Amino acid sequence: MEKTFALEALSALSQETRLDVFQLLIRCEPEGLPAGEIAERLGVPPNTLSTHLAILTRAGLATSERRSRQIIYRARTTQINCLVSFLVKDCCGGHPELCRLPEINSTSANAKGVTMSDRIYNVLFLCTGNSARSIMAESLLNTMGAGRFRAFSAGSHPAGQVNPLAIEVLTEEGLPTEGLRSKSWDEFAEPDAPEMDFVFTVCDTAAGESCPVWPGQPMTAHWGIEDPARSVGTHFQQKAAFITAARYLKNRISAFLALPFQSIDRMALTSQLHDIGRLDGATTKTGEAE
């Protein structure tokens, strides 16, 4: 297990409500619980709970999946297993059994304590204004990625606020909106920023700009789609453009999640990432902005 991941997991659990949420999810394995029931059992306001669940998910300690009209949350027990292994592996000169510590399933851990299938990938979605498409992509991947991916978004020239229609569409889809904000991509070029594995541009303008140098040399691709914020007409017509954009993003993210990350070389993976950007709804023009 990477030290960075261990620190994130411990930080997420260091808050009382999040610890209560995680312990409740552990008790309810493997069925999981809908967010509403978690809020009711713990007496936590739904909007506050949403923030805590998002933090636990980003830390790799919880996953979510849609079942009918509900989003069900579960604890990632394998990650706790690996966290404990990471914490005690050097105990008693490498023999933690001398302290009668809980036995850790070593077959699930590699030399760093995490299987490749348990690795969490960081993904950054970029646009110009970071107000609509990239925001929706962040929320979609954080939900669809089921804890295997942590999504972020940013803009080259951030609008400073998230488009209300993006929030409206995400909310109606049952997707998280807590913590979403319009911000500069410079935040992710800082030395202490999360190291990205993938960076995707979702608008043509951002794709044509000179990006910062991202730590870790992430893989990149352009997934441009039409800017729904440029739509005109009635509220219903404008909202329809956001729904369409969300559908195109969802299709791309679904294709991305289906890639065989552990069994494909970098060149082949890069080719497939670019192919995803050519799915239905791909843009070919430049000069747009969110």
Whether 211 is catalytic:
yes
Cα distance between residue 52 and residue 168, in whole Å = 21
Q: How confident is the model at residue 268 (pLDDT cuts 50, 70, 90)?
A: confident
Whose CA is closest to 147, among 230, 65, 28? 65
In a domain, 148, yes or no: yes
Whose CA is closest to 256, among 196, 175, 198? 198
Domain final position from 116, 133, 162 = 116
In a domain, 142, yes or no: yes
In a domain, 288, yes or no: no
Give residue-wise pLDDT tens across range 181-213: 999 999 888 877 888 999 999 988 766 666 676
Whose CA is closest to 151, among 126, 130, 123? 123
The one catalytic residue among 28, 82, 99, 211: 211
Cα distance between residue 2 and residue 111, in whole Å = 10
92 and 236 share a domain? no
Arithmetic mean of pLDDT over the chain: 83
What pLDDT is attached to residue 18?
Answer: 93
The one catalytic residue among 82, 91, 92, 127: 127
- Residue 73: how many CB atoms within 10 A of its CB? 25
In a domain, 134, yes or no: yes
Give residue-wise pLDDT tens across range 54-79: 999 888 888 888 877 788 898 887 67
What pLDDT is attached to residue 113?
Answer: 42
Is the per-residue pLDDT at 172 higher than 70?
Answer: yes
21 and 80 share a domain? yes
**Which whole number is the average pLDDT over 105-113?**
38
46 and 151 share a domain? no
110 and 1 share a domain? yes
DSSP state of 156: S
Give residue-wise pLDDT tens across range 14-49: 999 999 999 998 888 777 889 899 999 999 998 899
272 and 235 share a domain? yes
104 and 211 share a domain? no
Burial 87-116 (b: 16+ CB within 10 A, else e): bbeeeeeeebeeeeeeebeeeebeeebbee
Indicate the angle between helix axes 164-172 and 235-257, nearest 10 degrees. Answer: 60
Whether 99 is catalytic:
no
138 and 272 share a domain? yes
- Residue 149: how many CB atoms within 10 A of its CB? 23
Give residue-wise pLDDT tens across range 138-168: 999 999 988 889 999 999 999 999 999 999 9
Domain final position from 116, 139, 170 = 116
Domain final position from 83, 116, 149 = 116
What pLDDT is attached to residue 269?
Answer: 87
**Which whole number is the average pLDDT over 276-288?**
72
In a domain, 282, yes or no: no
Find the domain containing 73 and state its range. 1-116
What pLDDT is attached to residue 104?
Answer: 43
Which residues have a Cβ under 8 Å from the Cβ of 198 and sit 6 or more positions away? 121, 122, 123, 124, 218, 219, 220, 221, 273
Q: Number of structural domains, the chain?
A: 2
The one catalytic residue among 82, 91, 92, 203: 203
Which residues have a Cβ under 8 Å from the Cβ of 265 and sit 6 or more positions away? none
Task: Average the pLDDT over each of 75-79, 224-228, 250-254 and give the range with the smallest value.
Answer: 75-79
